[in-house]
Structures are given as C-alpha cells and as structure tokens.
Amino acid sequence: MERLLQDNEQRPQEAYYRKVQLPAGDLHVYASDSLFAGLDYKVLDMANNNLQIPGNRYMSYTPDVHVGVGTCIGTTAIWDMADGYVSPSIVGSDIGCGMRLHLTNLHRDDLRDVKLRRKLVKAIERHLPVEEQARGHFSDIRLDHIVRKGLSGLPKKYVPDGYTPRKATSLTRVECGKFGLDESYLERLPETVYHRAHRQLGTLGNGNHFAEIQYVEIDEDHRDIAEQWGLSDGQVAVMIHSGSRAWGGAVNQYCSSEIVKMMSRRGLGTADPKLLFAPLDSESGQMYVNLMYSALNYAVVNRHLIAYAIREAGQQVFGSKFEMSTLYDLMHNYAWEEKHGKNTLFVHRKGATRALPPGHPDNPDAYAETGHPALIPGSMGTSSYIMVGKPGGQSNYYSICHGAGRIRSRSATKRLVTMDQFRSSMRIGSDDEIVVNQRTLESLIDESPQAYKDVDQIIDSVVGAGLAGVVAKCKPLAAVKGV
DNA sequence: ATGTAC
C-alpha cells in the first residue's frame, strides 16, 4: 500500500483529484497533490478494507481525511438502496455530529473590548451547561418526543423566532429537522440512557466540539450569495459544533454488538474486525438505520438548544434587541437515502459535508436558488468557512470536507506543542485575544491548531476540485469548549 | 466522541 502511494506521487494526473486503484476496488481521492503526498498510507489500507463490503458503488476521501476506527474520517461511501449495506463503523460513533451557524445583529466593533468578550463568554457559561445537568433541567422537554420527532418534538417556547411555517426560520433553515423512524426499535435501548441523554440535552460534549463567537469576512467571488443569505462584513456570528452525546453512543454500542453477532452467524467480514456492516434489509441493519435516525433527531435538537442558551446569554449582555437568526444546521456524520439521477442510493458521510449547488431540488426552500450554506469549522483559533456547492460536486455525490483534519493524536499534541506556541496561536494577552471559557488553556492544548492540517489548504483543495466555493470566512473572537 | 471497564 505504501508502494502504491509512492507510485501515484511519481505520476501526478490532475491537480486536485485522483482515482486510486486498490486491490478491492477504486477509491476517489479529492486532495491537492501536496495534501495527497502527505497522507498516511494507512488511509489506503482502511479504504481497501471498506471496499471489501459487498456491493459498494462508490467510495471517496475528502482532503481532510485521517485514520479513524474501522473507517477514515473524510469518507463518502455509497450502496444501492435496493440491495445495499449500512455500516455503523462508517457513520462513526458520534452519530449526527454537525454544524450550526447563527447570524447576530452585532458588528465585530461592538466586541472590540476584550473585557466585553470575556463578559459574553461568562454569560454563555451561565446559560449553556458544559456538562451533564442535574435532574429536572429541561423538565418541560420530553426526550421520547425529541428522539422520535427531532425539532418538531420541541415545546414552542424553545422556538423563539416564531412557530408558523412561514416564520419559523430555526425549524426550516436546517438540512433536516425530523427523521421518521419505526418507533418500536426505541424499546431496545436500555432505560438508563433515556435519563442520561435527557440530562445532556443542550450540552456541547468534549473533544473538538465547541461554540464560537466569530465575525464574518465575505469572499468577493460570492458576495451576491452572501448578501442573499443576510451576511455582512464584520457581522458577528455564532458557530456551534456538537452531536448526539450519550444517545448516539448508546445506539452505536447496542447496534454494534447485535451486528457483530449477525456477521459471525453469516460469516461476513473483511480484513478489519472493527469494520462492522449489515445488509440494509436485515433485522440488525433495519434496527441500526432506525435507531441512527433517532440519534440524528437528538443531535439536531441538541444544537438547537445550545443556540437557545447562547441567545439567552447574548440578551443578558446586550439586551432584548440582541438577535440570533438561524443561517443553517447540517450534519457531517450520518447515512441516509438520496436520489442521484435515476438511482436511489444509501449514502454514508463520515467527516464529510453535503454541499448542494444552486438549483438542486434537495435544497431547502430558503436556499433553492443559491444552494445551501455548507459550514466547515477550522481548528481552534483559525478561520472557519461558509461554503456553497458547485455543479462540479456531482462527481463526488456533493460531498466536501468537514474541517481541518487531525494530523496528530491528542497525546502527541500534548507532547509536542508548548504552552507558549498555543498561547501565541490564541493571541493570549493581546487586545485581539481569542477569549476561551473557564477551562485552563493547558486542558485545551490537544485541540491546538498544531494538531490539525491547515484548514486553508483543505478549502483550497475543495475549491480547486470544483466541488464548492467560499462564500465567507468566519474568524474567531471567543471560543467555548465543553468538558 | 463517548461511556465504561480497567
């Protein structure tokens, strides 16, 4: 496999894409020559295992690809709906993890004073629980409604921008707010996860999950789209990155153990015992798909409630005139059915974001003409991006990257990055310091930018391949991390 | 990423 990577380096074909012919099938890699050359050859081993799942129709990597459990983060993997497979390993354990962006009526100049940014972060800490809550929190929200109905299961008071179909921007400006499922499967999960997941509603979680206060810098190439979306230069935005917490974890754990048994009974498997998969029409496959949808419901509500808490904090600091309208909410860890031409396909995206171009029928109404926003987080302290799909994205089933892509393990990052380097990347002590919440900087060092590829290079690669364009950069002013 | 077992 290492040999193959070197061969490809020696005969570059196109600048931003190449097809890698592996023993088990073709892998489509969307990465610039320099990013491709820097890939760990293990990502090709992993693709070769994934391609051994029967009937795979398409498999690709985005430029931020890196090794995960069973499957790389940065994978798009597709089967036919009629006789295909579903893989909990390809979806990954943080089912429904994704991004949400809100636009405020503040300008970055309003937050020029570092003391005011700190005051806002402290207010967010008061309203946004960073860890599991005591019993009784959100007692007016029923978890069984949330996991069955997603955003439609929320009481009206949590939809502050109106509840009529025309005005409910926080319910309609989402990739999907409600995933229908066969509710009988919910009974399979242990009772304890209901309590835990209820107490975790509206919390960030740990790792790379965050809420950031950012400001918008529009890209001149797409100023028309930016303005149609209501963006303006210097506008303060709130970006949220979180997933389905313990609920998704329990779904993954329970279904994985059932699928392991099924695979053993049927003699299914690849070279990697950690790579789990089930026929879509099998009992364990159906169970996984339905319970995965419940986790997608949980995740979209979780991000909505995080935004709700930050809105309350903003109003406490800036008064009731503070606004936080929803731009978009979309996922990067999931699998679902999509129509592509005449084909009905089951599309897995793990660390991959869908970016539909203008005019694509699957865009939500608000973005039918422009294409929808695709939200790509940078690493801590660096820019995040608001992208829009291009027609060329069709070649990759409209998948683009999901972030910078980790290049260094948490332990290696702690070993290699000094506190001085990290403090300097966060501009600590200067007037434009990126203010972080109560966690000490030492405890955040494994999320430092040095643990990640350069997100700008990842974005250049996606743009160069013709998959998407940059509508705006979002630059950090303050970051809130979970525990 | 997460809960849990070590």
pLDDT of residue A443: 84
Q: Choose the weakest-confidence range: A4-8, A252-256, A259-263, A441-445.
A: A4-8
pLDDT exceeds 70 at position A7: no
Question: Which residue, A137, A176, A439, A123, is CA-closest to A311?
Answer: A123
* Torsion angle defined by CA atoms of residues A10, A14, A20 and A26, in that order, rounded to the nearest 10 degrees: -160
Shortest CA to C1' contact from A69: nucleotide:
B1
pLDDT exceeds 80 at position A130: no
pLDDT of residue A137: 84
Spell out residues with C-beta < 7 A from strand B: A 69, 93-94, 97, 132, 192, 196, 200, 205-209, 242-243, 245-246, 248-250, 252, 482
Hey, what are A402's tokens? 């999901």
Per-residue pLDDT tens for A367-385? 999 999 999 999 988 999 9
Catalytic (active site) residue A332: no
Shortest CA to C1' contact from A406: nucleotide:
B1
Which residues, other chains included, contact A11 with Cβ-Cβ below 8 Å and sequence gap of 6+?
Answer: none
Shortest CA to C1' contact from A244: nucleotide:
B1
Per-residue pLDDT tens for A190-239? 999 999 999 999 999 988 899 999 999 999 999 999 999 999 999 999 99
* Torsion angle defined by CA atoms of residues A255, A261, A264 and A267, in that order, rounded to the nearest 10 degrees: -60
Q: Tell me, which fold does domain A2-83+98-407+452-481 have in CATH?
A: tRNA-splicing ligase RtcB (3.90.1860)
Per-residue pLDDT tens for A70-87? 999 999 999 999 999 999
CA-to-C1' span, A94 to B2 (A): 8
pLDDT of residue A166: 66
CA-to-C1' span, A248 to B2 (A): 9
pLDDT of residue A461: 96
Average pLDDT over residues A418-431: 92
Contact A400, A376 (CB under 8 A): yes
Average pLDDT, chain A: 93
pLDDT exceeds 70 at position A393: yes
pLDDT of residue A1: 58
Per-residue pLDDT tens for A317-356? 999 999 999 999 999 999 999 999 999 999 999 999 999 9
* Torsion angle defined by CA atoms of residues A52, A54, A56 and A61, in that order, rounded to the nearest 10 degrees: -20
CA-to-C1' span, A448 to B2 (A): 21
